[in-house]
Amino acid sequence: MEFTKMHGCGNDYIYVNGFTEEVSARKKPELVRRLSDRHFGIGGDGVIFINRSSQADFEMEMYNADGSRAEMCGNGIRCVAKYVYDKSLTDKTSVSVISSGQIKYLDLIIKNVMVKAVKVNMGSPILKAADIPVISENEEVISEMIEVEGKVYEMTCVSMGNPHAVVFMEDVENLDIEKIGPYFENHVRFPNRVNTEFVKVIDRNTVQMRVWERGTGETLACGTGACATVVACILNGLTEEEVTVKLLGGKLHIRWDRRENLVYMTGPAETVFEGEIEI
């Protein structure tokens, strides 16, 4: 099987061309676990298959490193756009990509005939998703307390298609995320598990964020997590509508247009290497 290793802000996935590579759905979770392993496989935060779609230009089928599916992936979708353009699967500079039934629209930023960065319309945040039943702006309940391992944290839950718990704190640098992350991920509050963002507000246009991803663990960046974080910051009156999110692997620029109620994410997409692996 041929593959391409790509990343957005260090959030790295293995990309597989579903037009040419055939893998049965039944075998995918096990294959994903094997390929994602950083010692026994290629290594990555998960695997993304790029497929044909009748509703959008392309379909993105995303898997976490543990073989579970995710509905959406912000860093991944930018890399999908780079993949299809750089490999001439399209010559359009605006493309649509569907993932778990949700279509996103992407504008490619091109330099020397290659995609350098991508601006994505990530759609509207969902403040009352089925698995995140708490917040409602109208009812002004935007944050809630959660007890994790005997400590109480303040969090705001936002879905960007996939679920996020945004936890505000002063010291994200020294946080023992390997220890606390799994407790949030598997908390009874989240029957479908959750992605958790630990956030420090630096100023009205800048925040620092670390993430513990559902199904993968700590990653260097999370695009949907950065979007959810900015929505949570704005709802809590902590930032303006345009925010730079500083992550371990780089920066993402997020804007929540309140009038349109749409979240825009702009960030890099990079190819690292390509290869072939026996499956």
Q: Which residues does the annotation mark as catalytic?
A: 73, 222
Minimum distance from residue 88 beta carbon to ligand API (Å): 25
Is 64 near ligand API (CB under 6 A)?
yes
* Cα–Cα distance for residue pair 85/90, rounded to 1 Å: 5
The correct pick among 57, 59, 185, 213 for binding ligand API (CB under 6 A) is: 213
74-86 and 223-235 helices, crossing angle to 10°: 140
Q: Which residue of 4, 36, 75, 159 would you call a contact of ligand API, by CB under 6 A?
A: 75
Closest of 103, 106, 86 to residue 94, by C-alpha: 106
Residue 195 sits in the site that holds ligand API (CB under 6 A): yes
Q: Does 11 bind ligand API (CB under 6 A)?
A: yes
204 is in an annotated binding site: no
Please say whether the dihedral angle defined by the alpha carbons of residues 216, 190, 165 and 103, taken in this order, is positive or negative: positive
Tell which positions 76-135 bind ligand API, by CB under 6 A: 76
How is residue 224 written in tokens?
């949907």
8 A C-beta contact, residue 115 and residue 109: yes
Q: Which is nearer to ligand API, 70 or 233 (CB)?
A: 70
64 labelled ligand-binding: yes
- Interface region with ligand API, contact rule CB under 6 A, candidates 32-40, 69-77, 243-251, 266-274: 69-77
Distance from C-alpha of 164 to C-alpha of 273, rounded to nearest angstrom: 30
Interface size with ligand API, residues (CB under 6 A):
18
* The one among 106, 157, 209, 222 contacting ligand API by CB under 6 A: 222
Consult the annotation and say whether 215 binds a ligand: no
- Rounded least distance, CB 23 to ligand API, Å: 20
CB of 95 to ligand API, least distance (A): 18
Asked if 268 contacts 226 with a C-beta cutoff of 8 angstroms, the reply is: no
DSSP 98-123: EETTEEEEEEEEEETTEEEEEEEE--
- Select 44 or 153, whichever has its Cβ closest to ligand API: 44
The answer to whether 224 contacts ligand API (rule: CB under 6 A) is: yes
Q: Consult the annotation and say whether 138 binds a ligand.
A: no
Q: How far is CA 246 from CA 136, 207, 208, 216, in A?
A: 27, 6, 5, 20
Which tokens hold the place of 240? 């303006």
Rounded Cα–Cα distance for residues 188 and 110 (Å): 44
Bridge partners for 97 per DSSP: 58, 104
Least Å from the CB of residue 131 to ligand API: 11
Residue 242 structure tokens: 């345009």
Question: Which residues here bind ligand API, judged by CB under 6 A?
Answer: 11, 64, 70, 73-76, 162, 195, 213-216, 219, 222-225
